Amino acid sequence: ALPVIPALKITDRGMVDVERFEIIAG
């Protein structure tokens, strides 16, 4: 089952992978 909180979150810096805590340029 997928977690309620999505693994990818949109931030002012782009997309952030909260599981690996990496900034994904977007």
Tens of pLDDT, residue by residue over 4-26, are 655 566 666 666 666 666 665 65
| Inter-residue long-range contacts of 11-14, CB under 8 Å, 24+ positions, other chains counted | none
Place of tokens 């089952």: 1
Distance CA 16, CA 1 (A): 21
Domain count, the chain: 1
For the cut 60, the answer to whether the pLDDT of residue 2 exceeds it is no
Domain limits at 14?
A: 1-26
pTM (global) more than 0.85: no
